[in-house]
Amino acid sequence: MDIIISFLSEWGYAALFICMVLENMNIPIPSEIILGFAGFLVSQNIFSFWPTIIIGTAAGIAGSVVSYYLGYKGGRDLILRHTAKGGMGAKKMIAAKDWFENYGAIAIFTGRLLPGVRTFISLPAGIAQFPLPEFIILTLIGTVPWTIFLVYVGSVLGHNWAIILDYKWEIAGVCLLISLVIALGYYVYHKRKSK
Print the SS3 string covering 61-106: HHHHHHHHHHHHHHHHHHHHHHHHHCCHHHHHHHHHHHHHHHCHHH
pLDDT tens over the chain, length 195 residues: 788 899 999 999 999 999 999 998 878 788 889 999 999 999 999 999 999 999 999 999 999 999 899 888 876 666 556 555 555 455 655 665 666 667 777 777 777 766 666 777 888 888 878 889 989 998 898 888 889 989 999 999 999 998 887 877 677 777 677 767 776 776 677 677 776
pLDDT computed for residue 38 by the predictor: 96
What's the CA gap between 139 and 122, in Å, rounded? Answer: 9
- Widest Cα–Cα separation across the chain: 54
pLDDT computed for residue 83 by the predictor: 52
Length of the chain: 195
* Residue 60 CB neighbours (<10 A): 28
Q: What does pLDDT average to over the chain?
A: 82
Cβ–Cβ under 8 Å, residues 31 and 20: yes
pLDDT computed for residue 1 by the predictor: 73
| HSE-CB for 46 with a 13 A CA cutoff | 15
| HSE-CB for 153 with a 13 A CA cutoff | 25
Cβ–Cβ under 8 Å, residues 146 and 113: yes
pLDDT computed for residue 30 by the predictor: 85
What's the CA gap between 146 and 143, in Å, rounded? Answer: 5
Report field, pTM of the whole predicted structure over 0.95: no
Cβ–Cβ under 8 Å, residues 64 and 24: yes
